Amino acid sequence: MPVLDEARRIAASLTRVCDLDGFDERIVVDGGSRDDTVALASAFAGVEVIDAPRGRGPQQNAGAARARGDALLFLHADVELPPNAADVVRRTLARPGVVAGAFRTWTVPDGGGSRWPGPLLHLADVRSRYSRVPYGDQALFVRREVFDAVGGFPAQPLMEDLELSRRLRRVGRIAVAKERVRVSGRRFQHAPVRQTVLVNVFPLLYAAGVSPERLVRWYGSPR
């Protein structure tokens, strides 16, 4: 779990994660939080907290390097796994030709920010049902040896999840499970237009060859 200044939600997020059966390791990777994120995460028995350079790509690579299992699941702090998540991972990765998987999403309102978007929050959920290239908010999971073989997450400031998915698709199939993760709608509620551009327009620009460095200059920091 890559985190940065998540003191408001980290305790609830880790409580849910620690209540799940079937996961051998729970690793939080902090990217330089200035609030109480590290202290709160460190209070959880069975949770390892490490530091890494800021950025979801470097942080998730650091967590993968620390993990010892043969399957990796990357979870954002504002995403909630279903109760049977570990079974979904095992069942999905056991399918012939599948090297990675992800969940569908169900975006829910979060405290703060504008409430007017309402049903528009679920536009991203439609994407999770039909896209063959999962986003990071879908709790991507992958066979360890395949993750290492494709070089892990790329060292880029934006679209690191899409680039990893593209690399994985070159070596095998990514299966999207019917089970859903609950995703906080906080970013969309706070800045609906900005988040809509990020989710719907920037992936098209990236696929067309616009560099992530240029995209992040246009968009600003994604964290």
The Cα 40–Cα 7 span in angstroms is 7
Q: Which runs of consecutive H residues, i.e. helices, occur in 43-169?
A: 56-66, 85-93, 123-130, 144-149, 160-169
pLDDT tier, 192 (very low <50, low <70, confident <90, very high otherwise): low
Mean pLDDT of 21-36: 97
User: Of all residues in the chain, what percent carry a pLDDT higher than 70?
Assistant: 86
User: In the predicted model, what is the mean pLDDT of residues 115-127?
Assistant: 67
> What's the rounded Cα separation, in Å, for the pair 69 and 63?
11
Q: Residue 97: pLDDT above 90?
A: yes
Question: Which of 63, 89, 45, 44 minimizes the C-alpha distance to 2?
Answer: 63
Q: Which residue has the higher pLDDT, 50 or 122?
A: 50
Position 41 pLDDT exceeds 90: yes
Is it the case that residue 193 has pLDDT exceeding 60?
no
pTM over 0.85: yes
DSSP E strand boundaries for 38-95: 47-51, 71-73, 79-80
Residue 112 has pLDDT above 60, yes or no: no
Question: For residue 102, which phi and psi values (nearest 5 degrees)?
Answer: -160, 170
**Domain 2-219 top-level CATH class:** alpha beta
Residue type, 128: S
User: Where do the structural domains in the chain lie, given as residue ranges?
Assistant: 2-219
